[in-house]
Amino acid sequence: MAFFHARTALYALLALVTITVFTGQHLVPPMDRDESRFAQASRQMLQSGDYVTIRFQDELRAKKPAGIYWMQSASAALLGDADIASYRFVNLLALLVSIFMLYHVGLRLYEPAIALAASTAFASGFLVLAESHLAKTDTVLMLLVMIQQWALMRIYLDRDKAATKPPPDWIFFWTALATGILVKGPVAPAIAILTIGSLSLWHRGTRWVKPLRIWRGLILMAVICLPWAILVTIATDGAFLDIAVTGDFLAKVKSGQESHGAPPLTYLALFGVLLWPASMLLPSAVIHFKSMLAHDRTRFLLAWLVPFWVLIELIPTKLPHYPLPVVPAAVLLLLWSVDRVVTLSSVRQKLYLSGQYLFLAFGMVLVAAVMAAAVMFGGQTVRLAVGLAVAALLLAGLAVWQGHRWIQTGDYLHLMALFIAGMLVHFTIFAGVVPQLARVHVATGIAERLASSGSQPAAIAAAGYHEPSLVFLLGRDVLLVDSREAALFLAEAPDGVALVEARQQDAFLDMARRLELRLAAPEQLSGYNMSKGQDVVILIYRREIFDATSDNE
């Protein structure tokens, strides 16, 4: 048990996470759609020097505030703006600080062994590791919410203590909350309000909130947030905030945006996968729910977790990363239950054990889905993709075995081994299988095909396939056009290349005939567009020998 009390164990965990995530961030190609939009907009911010207005190509990107773009552009300035990993590096740092923070939150709430186990469970979770591989807002937001909630937790737990000089927790709270607003708008304030409201209802009063110094905090928040809000309003004549509020935020609240609608309880149904392998502890947490309500420590975590979880279940738009800001609270609650002793009837004991094994088995279900994806989307690298999926399956089997041993013995070594094995499963998936799904990485295939052609085109136009990853890999000047415009483009740019999706080919060739263009026989590349859920065939056209007026289809 001494190992679990040693801070060196935490540093070993941070080193392991650094190696796994850093490796995956470099191997996974740019993903559609949000990641490539974020990365490309950050690159354009860096290149243009305009750190106020956010644009994707020439289009105003009024989806999120500027905070994440500032962070990603700063990272790209240090590491180079060509590699997608440069924009992802921000999330690696956020994840490492989150693990460190969670350990120290755990120390305030539990014994060191539980704090370390909670940090390891958190760092091994499928959702946490998946989001840390992508250049998006959510891992950074999770860290900011954790800092915000850590400060709020200190105020709540110390509410009955007399202090001659109150600690500066309110400064940490409001600074993290304001930065969270600059990263992802209303999410951080929503969690803070729901947590404070729930605890105030429980205690039938708000006196405990006094150390937050609300008026000073609001002034601090305004100092942090208002300058950019004013500048972007002036720069866009108010269009940015109008689109962000009415076109993005309210649209998600009213209906399922961009085909991401799903019924309530969707996240609960996905809980077993999203938090695996820690989700195996859910039956234990459910049994001890009443005990959680009786303790300040766990009551605070429930106030952090439950109201926001209910809120996102009720919002029509559903995306897998929405629960991420409350995952730290969920993991701490799951680990709190492992040392609790409860007496159950024989029937309830069987149900309890069945539940644990059921959630443990979600890892095998996850890897089975990954193996199916390797077969379907491996393309020319299918053998390697399947081989890595088999390796993930073996590691998942090891995780299940360690989980089984934990259920039998209650030995922390088996619990920690379960979490480490789960982390290695996810590492094999993200750094191994995902990069080998050649049919999914269509834009990467196009970029590689153009690079291997010997001569870089002077200009590029794409008709039909307009995914953001294509823009990130080929540059902001790639033209996203329709089929007829692609033919007109080749008429004006003899050294250019037109990327024509097969569904657009007939209209493209019809216009080419009218323009009497001579075209080379097209190169062909096939794949699967994950964003649209359909097979695609990309035809790469150049002006050359081939006469489009002849029958070439």
| Sign of the alpha-carbon torsion through 56, 58, 64, 70 | positive
The answer to whether residue 166 scores a pLDDT higher than 90 is: no
CB neighbours of 488 closer than 8 A, spacing ≥ 6?
A: 511, 515
**pLDDT at position 289:** 86
pLDDT category of residue 162 using cuts at 50, 70 and 90: low
- Segment among 124-128, 248-252, 411-415, 473-477 with least mean pLDDT: 248-252
**pLDDT at position 148:** 97
**pLDDT at position 103:** 94
The answer to whether residue 539 scores a pLDDT higher than 80 is: yes
323-382 pLDDT, tens per residue? 999 999 999 999 988 876 666 678 778 888 899 999 999 999 999 999 999 999 999 999
**pLDDT at position 546:** 47
| Sign of the alpha-carbon torsion through 451, 454, 458, 460 | negative
Mean pLDDT (whole number) for 260-274: 87
The answer to whether the beta carbons of residues 318 and 257 sit under 8 Å apart is no
**pLDDT at position 73:** 97
* Biggest CA pair distance of the chain: 90
Picking from 527, 215, 176, the residue whose alpha carbon sits closest to that of residue 381 is: 527
**pLDDT at position 262:** 80
Which pair of structure tokens corresponds to residue 216?
């000073």
**pLDDT at position 225:** 95
For 461, the 3-state DSSP assignment is strand
Helical ranges in 411-544 per DSSP H: 412-427, 442-451, 468-474, 483-492, 505-515
The answer to whether residue 532 scores a pLDDT higher than 50 is: yes
**pLDDT at position 549:** 52
The answer to whether residue 5 scores a pLDDT higher than 80 is: no
The answer to whether residue 249 scores a pLDDT higher than 60 is: no
The answer to whether residue 405 scores a pLDDT higher than 50 is: yes
Higher pLDDT, 187 or 261: 187
The torsion angles phi and psi of 537, rounded to 5 degrees, stand at -125, 125
**pLDDT at position 95:** 98
Give yes or no for a cis peptide into 33 (omega within 30° of 0).
yes
**pLDDT at position 165:** 61
